[in-house]
Amino acid sequence: MSLIRLGSAAAQRQIDAYEASQGPGAPGATHAPGPRRTLQPEMAVTPETDTATERSVEQLTQFIPTEMVTIFLAAVSAWKALEVQGWFEGVQPHWLVAFFALLTPATLLLASYATFAEERRKRDATGARFVLPRFEMVAATVAFTVWAFAVPGLYTGMEVVQIFAAFAALVVSWVLSQVRRIVGP
């Protein structure tokens, strides 16, 4: 799942919760006057699909950050090519994993805050305060780190670990989606 989508969903829940707490007609509340809207918190990011099969696949992969995966694969390819040339002889694979594991929550935080600020301006909800999307940051980092060990060729001679990590990435993402349902937004 995209970190932007994951971060945006967290920010959207914050703005919705703020508006719901303000009640109808309150300054910064953009919903029409009438019965108070009951906030139904999303327990996980709502998939954009309609079939049960697509929803189950979404649940398996929702915390694996696609932006980091894409950039990580490009970095691994570049690292392998440059290592052959002798430029990065001392760079270990776990340094790449650690760098991207740190970049994952930072990217999610940036995407979440950007969406929050945009929605706050759009809805004139100046009293709304940003709350760190802690669960999403930790979940995306854990899912990425487990997934990174499954990348072929990153760790030579550890093919069994890579096979295990590929399945573990899916299991970890599913477990995280269930934990998300328990802890709430």
The token pair at 9 is 């969903």
pLDDT per residue over 106-137, tens digit each?
999 999 999 999 999 998 888 899 999 999 99
CA angle 17, 15, 130 (to 5 degrees): 105
How many CA atoms lie within 13 Å of 92's alpha carbon, on the beta-carbon side? 3
User: What is the reported pLDDT for 38?
Assistant: 38
Is the pTM higher than 0.85? The answer reads no
Q: What is the band of 101 on the pLDDT scale with cuts at 50, 70, 90? A: very high
The token pair at 24 is 């109808």
For residue 67, which of 150, 138, 132, 5 has the smallest C-alpha distance? 5
